[in-house]
Amino acid sequence: MRARFSVPLLVAVAVTLSLFSGTATAVGSDPKPIPGGIQIPDGPLIHVFAPGPVDLGFQGENVEPNTITDFSGFSAMAYIAGTARDADGNSYTMVNDMRVYRGTYVSEDGSVLTGTFAFI
């Protein structure tokens, strides 16, 4: 029952936020990423943590769900799991991490801006 409630709620939140969203257009308006994150072996550091129970493969319930430093606002997050089938009939297990943020943040140039962001 919990999964059926959270998916429509996340979609409703995303639609609502998109209706009231604006675009940050100032020079250097990119938000500062959080320090740390997930290091891909022989690859980049991705500035994101995976909150959730460790026994399910996540990084614990007391890690930062946000991806933006100096952020104040609303955050919504959902893990959506299921299966998918490609055109050749191969079946895949999928686990998707979806997040939406709306609020104020300090940009890389030090400006205080308002924005709406999605992470899929």
The pLDDT score that the predictor gives to residue 119 is: 84
Entry pTM = 0.63
- The answer on pLDDT for 80 being more than 50 is yes
Bigger pLDDT: 62 vs 14: 62
Domain carrying residue 32:
2-119
Distances (CA, A) of 92 to 6, 11, 88, 120: 22, 23, 12, 18
The runs of H, that is alpha helices, within the chain are: 2-19
- The answer on pLDDT for 9 being more than 90 is no
Structural domain total, the chain: 1
41: exposed, middle or buried (Cβ count in 10 Å: 0-12, 13-18, 19+):
exposed
